[in-house]
Structure 1
Amino acid sequence: MAMASTDRVILGSIAFAIFWILAVFPAVPFMPIGRTAGSLLGANLMVIFRVLAPDEAYAAIDLPILGLLFGTMVVSIYLERADMFKYLGKLLAWKSRGPKDLLCRICLIAAISSAFFTNDTSCVILTEFVLKIARQQNLPPHPFLLALASSANIGSSATPIGNPQNLVIAVLSKISFGRFLFGVFPAMLVGVVVNAVLLLCMYWKSLSVQKDVENAEIELVSDEEVDSHRFSPATMSHVNSLHSQEQFSADSMNTSNQNQDNFNENEIKTDANGVFDSCRNSNASMEAANDGSLQMRDKNVTSKGILSVDGCLNMSWTAITAALALVVLDFKDARECLEKVSYSLLIFFCGMFITVDGFNRTGIPSAFWDFMEPYAKIDHAGGIAVLAVVILVLSNLASNVPTVLLLGARVGASAATISAASEKKAWLILAWVSTVAGNLSLLGSAANLIVCEQAHRAQPSGYNLSLWTHLRFGVPSTLIVTAIGLTLIRD
């Protein structure tokens, strides 16, 4: 894709930078408007600056992904009604040998559930519950929250349905489910183990002393409260913890005897800055992949691109169908459940889809790949390392689905000149690195932001998982897990 005009590149970069800052620091002093408003501001600036036309901005919104999020939220609400958390709590507590054992179990459950139900869905459902488990045992929450987010990302890499970028890769490359699983599973399994070991090494002292020093004044969670846990959808609220506690104190007095059946509007609602990580716009981003720079592969990428949209649509309608089936089988007015859906989260994604698409249209990500492509051949270790670095950078800068759509055809074609086996391996490397890249920074994936925001807004006492806390673990974990996994990817 050719670079846009200088003014569009500059203005588009400014709009994207504003969005990025507000997504990572939603309460910055100069503009404390929060993530949802920040994403809409970034999208609006893309249109005002004429980086995108209004019709192009609307086309950038990925309705299949919005449908997938909506459906999984509704399903999650009905799962908690079936006492799923009660049984999950028993599983985590069964013959438990202490905090370190609990952390390893959370890593395993997050990885397995993400491989078959997507990483974002797992984090939406499990974040508050994991936080309550830590409170129940008077343990510091951050190792367990990091374990949930990072293991969910790594685990989702093993299957085409673990996350949207894998689905796109499976469709574009025509790799079967079994072949995909066989190729990535060894890397995923070792990656989860290595990630857990790194967590244990970094937080060994914290997990050895059963006391949460950071939150010593916070009331512990009872066994009954954990067993009766209720799922809370997430909002993109940026309200600080002091203000949120003031709001929650009055509500908690009214709801403490109702077993959390009536949800407060301010309850945790999940951020999904990541679904932008997850499956950005399979329509608009595809236009970048099908640009003039890919003339030799235009028809091929376009036809496969339509398939990828269909794949997301099928996934989306499957989730919506499951949600509606539960609504009908419940045989009650569904208004209460539907009110728990985080509509602010869906709005956030709309703005994010537009903003990221505008940034891709500046041509910066494509120009970066054009410069690095000659050095990213996978027929030698150095080339694989360069390719991995390119994917890591672009996935954290422009999100991983747009990166997959931008690089997929070109990486595959470049590897195909070596051999058919190399082409398959290149696609699997793209799937592995673009997924694990989500662990690098707080903005790296939707799963990270979902965990961060939900934990921050949790009742009765939230927990702030800071950018530094995540980076301190995320950077070494991502680099080590990615490097080890690359040696285990099978073609």
Structure 2
Amino acid sequence: MSVIAVTVFVVAYALIANDRVNKTLVALTGAAIVVTLPVISSSDVFYSRTTGIDWDVIFLLLGMMIIVSVLRRTGVFEYTAIWAAKRAKGSSLRIMVLLVLVTAFGSALLDNVTTVLLVAPVTLLVCERLAINAAPFLIAEAFAANIGGTATLVGDPPNIIIASRAGLSFNDFLIHLAPLVVIVIGVFVTLLPKLFPGAFTVDPQRVADVMSLEEREAIRDPSLLIKCGVVLVLVFAAFIAHSLLHMDPSVVALLGAGILIVVSGLERADYLASVEWDTLLFFAGLFIMVGALVKTGVVGQLARSAATVTGGNAVWTTMLILAVSLAVSGVINNVPFAATMAPIVGELAPSMLGHGHPHALWWALAIGTGFGGNLTAVGASANVVILGIARRADNPITFWEFTRKGAVVTATSFALTGVYLWVRYFVLS
């Protein structure tokens, strides 16, 4: 069965990377094959947290897409776009830097998917006003979301899995990972002109037109904006405090969406306008194919083999876990990978006592699964969402366009992280 699971995944991945076949159709076809044969059962698909569809991700996306649909009716995205363009004095590079920093900060407080869903509409409007291609901006925001989300316990789902297994707190993540994230984001910002050459040329007349606009005139429904603002504050507060409230972010997002549907009085076509159904179905298919790899033991075997190659050397074990996590999380979704690796790291962590910081392996896993999402276009949920938004906005981003840039960002992140882990946990420990 493992041969079938690997074959289906590799063929599906090749077709997705090819960009000539609809990726949602490919993912659903691959899922249908592994379920029909059957490599994976219906109970594994619908009810298992390690091998099934991650319903928290699906419903978090659905809820936030509905909230964005309602929010779009107020004109606040146009307001923010004009405000950002004017503050940057029409410089597209300054605008990209501003959006990257906002995305990274937002992803640390919320989660990367929610953040890109809120920032992407603003980005599209800014680029439309300046008549420039939005694709480079959206790609940069996906990278920033994955980097920023690594900084905190709530920023990326794998961090929650790791924290639960290792007994780590919110403050532990903040103290150990936030400094690295600040360094990586700083270097990433300096790389933007080289990563996206030719993306910052703007027609001076367009800049003059934007500078003459009055952003307050963009607000179309002040009353609805106030209602949305109240609901969003409550939603964001619940996201941050979800561990205290014992309420998953997906439930919070659906509750917020439901409240906005009721108070807005919008028609169904209006509040569903921004829902990316293709993206949701793609995620479902991808989760099932990856679940088949987990169910048949392929992912677990790869992880164990990689972890035993170092012969017990603490530094090399840490670096290998980082490298493997970066590579594998760039190919499959990082949630099932983190769930599979967590028990393995739990077994290896005690051997670190007396040979460096006992949590170094956990930080290597957290950083690898977070930063590794930048490697390919399907490496993280935020990437898939960004590609869906770009496609609907007629600014399509190909798999290889994203992945070429992502490989550079991931390699840079790996180099910086390797030095950080070595110095902090082995030289200074």
TM-score, L = length of structure 2: 0.81
Report deviation, 1:182.
1.4
AA of the residue aligned to 1:468: W
1:271 paired residue number: none
Kept in 1, the 8 Å contact 2:77–2:125? The answer is: no
- How do 1:68-79 and structure 2 match up within 5 A? 68-79=60-71
1:453 paired residue number: 388
1:394 paired residue number: 328
AA of the residue aligned to 1:89: A
Which residue among 73, 78, 87 is the counterpart of 1:95? Answer: 87
Kept in 2, the 8 Å contact 1:89–1:227? The answer is: no
Which residue among 65, 72, 78 is the counterpart of 1:86? Answer: 78
- Say whether 1:50 aligns with 2:38: yes
Report deviation, 1:486.
4.0
Structure 2 CA distance for partners of 1:334 and 1:470, relative to 1, 3 Å: closer
Report deviation, 1:337.
0.8
AA of the residue aligned to 1:364: V
Structure 2 CA distance for partners of 1:465 and 1:448, relative to 1, 3 Å: same
1:196 paired residue number: 189
Structure 2 CA distance for partners of 1:408 and 1:332, relative to 1, 3 Å: same
1:165 paired residue number: 158
- How do 1:427-446 and structure 2 match up within 5 A? 427-446=362-381
Question: What SS class does the counterpart of residue 422 from structure 1 fall into?
Answer: coil
**2: CA distance, partners of 1:96 / 1:38:** 41
Which residue among 285, 301, 304 is the counterpart of 1:370? Answer: 304
- How do 1:56-205 and structure 2 match up within 5 A? 56-59=44-47, 60-97=52-89, 98-204=91-197
Kept in 2, the 8 Å contact 1:376–1:387? The answer is: no
Mean Cα deviation higher: 68-77 or 462-471:
462-471
Mean Cα deviation higher: 100-109 or 12-21:
12-21
1:358 paired residue number: 292
Q: Please state which structure has a larger fraction of its residues in helix.
A: 2
1:425 paired residue number: 360
Mean Cα deviation higher: 17-26 or 439-448:
17-26
Kept in 1, the 8 Å contact 2:104–2:147? The answer is: yes
2:411 paired residue number: 479
Report deviation, 1:336.
3.1
Mean Cα deviation higher: 320-329 or 310-319:
310-319
Which residue among 3, 11, 29 is the counterpart of 1:18? Answer: 11
Report deviation, 1:141.
3.3
**2: CA distance, partners of 1:341 / 1:334:** 11
Report deviation, 1:163.
1.9
AA of the residue aligned to 1:480: T
The runs of at least 4 consecutive aligned structure 1 residues that moved more than 4 Å come to: 222-230, 308-313, 331-335, 376-380
How many pairs are equivalent?
394
AA of the residue aligned to 1:175: L
TM-score, L = length of structure 1: 0.71
Mean Cα deviation higher: 39-48 or 362-371:
362-371
AA of the residue aligned to 2:318: I
Kept in 2, the 8 Å contact 1:412–1:423? The answer is: no
Structure 2 CA distance for partners of 1:340 and 1:85, relative to 1, 3 Å: closer
Report deviation, 1:42.
0.9
1:210 paired residue number: 202
Structure 2 CA distance for partners of 1:425 and 1:449, relative to 1, 3 Å: same
Q: Per-residue displacement from partner, 1:240-261 (whole Å, max 9, x unpaired)?
A: xxxxxxxxxxxxxxxxxx99xx
1:343 paired residue number: 277
**1: CA distance, partners of 2:375 / 2:245:** 28
**1: CA distance, partners of 2:160 / 2:310:** 23
Report deviation, 1:434.
0.7
Report deviation, 1:204.
5.0
Kept in 2, the 8 Å contact 1:377–1:415? The answer is: no
Question: What SS class does the counterpart of residue 352 from structure 2 fall into?
Answer: coil
Gaps of 5+ in 2: 222-241
Question: What SS class does the counterpart of residue 488 from structure 1 fall into?
Answer: helix
Question: What SS class does the counterpart of residue 198 from structure 1 fall into?
Answer: helix
AA of the residue aligned to 1:446: S
Report deviation, 1:51.
1.0
The Cα RMSD (Å) is 3.4
**2: CA distance, partners of 1:228 / 1:9:** 59
Structure 2 CA distance for partners of 1:62 and 1:138, relative to 1, 3 Å: closer
**1: CA distance, partners of 2:218 / 2:322:** 40
Report deviation, 1:94.
4.1
1:251 paired residue number: none
2:238 paired residue number: none
Gaps of 5+ in 1: 1-7, 29-33, 213-218, 231-257, 260-307
Report deviation, 1:480.
1.0
